[in-house]
Chain A
């Protein structure tokens, strides 16, 4: 007998199985990790793999990988990223001659698609899988299992209470008469009402609740895998492109109409939905008050959408936060700007260019840069490059600037270039800047570049009869983003499950309670154990149950209760008071 007593730990081991995010390899790790004194002899391939797997799925590795992920994500927020702002990346490369190429080599300009970042999160998810699979199996068994046997020594549990069974209770049975005692029956009923799973055997009641905690934990972690899956599907099958559309013009959803376009590896051009739309109207409003002057207040585009060729067009409103949906494709309004409407006549008097030229905003007041290319002008082809200012202000001798983002005093400032007619090469050209190779700048008689300043309705004649340019007016353009992200709904649903699972795993508080009659049958003992940290009131609940079973419900003081040791406070602290009571696997349990 002594042998058994000695070997019975406090509390019994089956009372404290791994719990609370305990990972499979954790205990093994804690004891025999690489730092441990006794290195195992040659492991062999199989043993080596098992060792690696154990390491990978251990909680400690998961922690390290999580930290690594956090650290690895940081540089991408401080160093310009190609995917966010290629312009700033090239600026950085220009300004940092030595550092730039170094950064480039280790992928710091595309951190989130770099090999090392991917390695970290893939390892993390691998570790996650390795952790989840055994835990699902364990949980599946635990869910079907009966509550653990009543420990021999209830007084050693974190919470313990004892009450005399009231004399008017009909002859209480001893522990041998399993389940027959009305006191135990009452205990079982009470616990069942409190949503415990109850098992009456061997003259005692064992009860457990809070099974959903581990379920929530597993749901959360599995959901994370589905989030990754959704993102993966989206990046394989999705696409995103953008196109600048001037008011009055249209857009048809095929590749030629995009200014930029990226798609996943599994995306085919034929996957584009054949819709088209016309931008009928675009309203913009800016703050004119003193506070935040010039801040955007309204963007509203009126479009006519034709969902598929031959379908009846429908009117739609496109706003920030209110994309248009066409099938699974979404059209977002992501930018806007000005397009001066100009007419260029060449030296022969023919119209060489007429219409809006899209200028790109350079600052918050929409100082817009752009070019007007008239390659068909004869005898010399003509080109113009310069700025459109929606609210031009001249400040002394300095170059005019724009003072407000709305078109209050629009003006177009250009320099002109001429050159011999060019052979069509078919090489795509940047429409926002002028390729001046082979052209000469038009000079004024002073020898300075000939500066053109135009307000709507004005015409300027170039020197030496080389042509004229007229600012007819201006239009607005919008930048439309067309995208499809299949798979994202998977990720979103998974995220919802993740949050739900997280709440369960953090808020469900598993508890075990045992009730037993003393050998003489004159007193009832109640022991309780919390298996999660966040729970309070264990001792109170245990004492209450004991008092109630003793026949004097609610009268405090009748039940004698205790925590485990003299230096452990109980009440709210019960869970943490006993080594291992909080559940996690790794509590050192030395005998």
Chain B
């Protein structure tokens, strides 16, 4: 019963639990299928009611007032949702435990390879999600987040898995911590932002066609989704800028040059440029809304290609430890 073994057990279990959480959230969506077409909600009365709102402000205006939903259905939606969040929390704790045990087993920060990076990023994704559920009533993001977490950790334990091992000398640096943690956090925020962009496009399309029903009716208005999406990206973008800059500084120490157009560096820049496009598009007539959301999704695709595609398909200086 080594630490490594326990860590692996925790991660594999977390995949199962995330998958169950995903099913629960899917049940939540399915239970809401009876929700009909909804008029855009007015929240004026909410404002009237509360003049001294604190941090939970966002939670109140979250869910558009759905068309009359049968009491039984409403209860089922709520029940599935709560089960989903509870399972997500369990999966999260398992992942954190797995990560900590992995670090203990290796005697080092667990960020040395794709397996460790993926599981770390998923911890950040789910952690942010849970905080948002708690603070801002973001439960509607449960299905995509648990799907991402199940797929992410699932890929990690199957495709990316490598046994615990010490680091190669190129990783012996304080930048190892700085660069990779920054990448994981900004990556997590990009992922959540990307998921929101997808939901935004779905909701927006339904709103334009006047077919907002089912679970989409329980989502906030597309405008609010867009705003939240922007906030996630606005948080992630400076951090990603920092990640790339820190990577350049580290590259100088480790490889003797700041920037060498290594495939990973190229795609980090491509990702950065695409997200810069997103931020600019959001401030440009004719690009706001759906087009900007599409750019954000493109940025996420680029992020994933940089992470998975470049590591597995292209050989470069960022290839470590097999995968």
Contacts and interface: CB of A to CB of B under 8 A. Distances in A.
Given A297-B169, A573-B61, A63 B48 contact: no
A137 interface: no
A20 interface: yes
A60 B285 CA distance: 9
A292 B165 contact: yes
* Dominant secondary structure at the A interface: mixed
Contacts of A471: none
B49 interface: yes
A328 B162 CA distance: 40
B107 interface: no
Given A66-B276, A561-B47, A298 B169 contact: yes
A320 B170 CA distance: 6
Interface string B150-176: 000000000000111110111011000
B205 interface: no
Contacts of B277: 63, 66-67, 70
A178 interface: no
B103 interface: no
Interface in A299-358: 299, 319-323, 330, 332, 334
Residue among A543, A560, A588 with the highest chain B CB neighbour number at 10 A: A543
Given A73-B269, A573-B227, A22 B261 contact: no
A294 B306 CA distance: 27
Given A67-B277, A70-B274, A84-B260, A291 B163 contact: yes
Residue among A556, A557, A559 with the highest chain B CB neighbour number at 10 A: A556
Interface in B279-300: 279-288
A569 B266 contact: no
B44 A570 contact: yes
A490 interface: no
Contacts, number: 232
B169 A320 contact: yes
A476 B272 CA distance: 41
B253 A63 contact: no
Given A495-B245, A540-B47, A332 B237 contact: no
Residue among A295, A330, A557, A588 with the highest chain B CB neighbour number at 10 A: A295
Given A321-B170, A321-B253, A77 B258 contact: no
Interface stretch (A413-421, A481-489, A511-519): A481-489
A86 to B, nearest CB: 14
Interface of A: 20-22, 26, 30, 59-60, 62-63, 66-67, 69-70, 73-74, 76-78, 81, 83-84, 111-112, 161, 231, 240, 287, 289-292, 295-299, 319-323, 330, 332, 334, 481, 483, 485, 488, 491-492, 495-496, 498-499, 502-503, 506-507, 533-534, 536-537, 539-540, 543-544, 547, 554-563, 566-567, 569-573, 575-577, 583-588
20 contacts: A21-B284, A62-B280, A66-B280, A70-B270, A70-B302, A73-B269, A77-B261, A292-B321, A296-B169, A495-B241, A495-B245, A536-B227, A557-B51, A559-B51, A562-B47, A570-B44, A571-B43, A584-B283, A584-B288, A585-B285
Given A332-B256, A539-B47, A540-B47, 14 more contacts: A21-B283, A73-B266, A84-B260, A231-B259, A240-B257, A295-B168, A296-B168, A323-B253, A485-B257, A536-B57, A544-B51, A563-B43, A573-B221, A587-B285
Interface of B: 40-44, 46-53, 57-58, 60-61, 162-166, 168-170, 172-173, 221, 223-224, 226-227, 230-231, 234-235, 237-238, 241-242, 245, 249-250, 252-263, 266-267, 269-270, 273-274, 276-277, 279-288, 302, 310, 314, 321-322
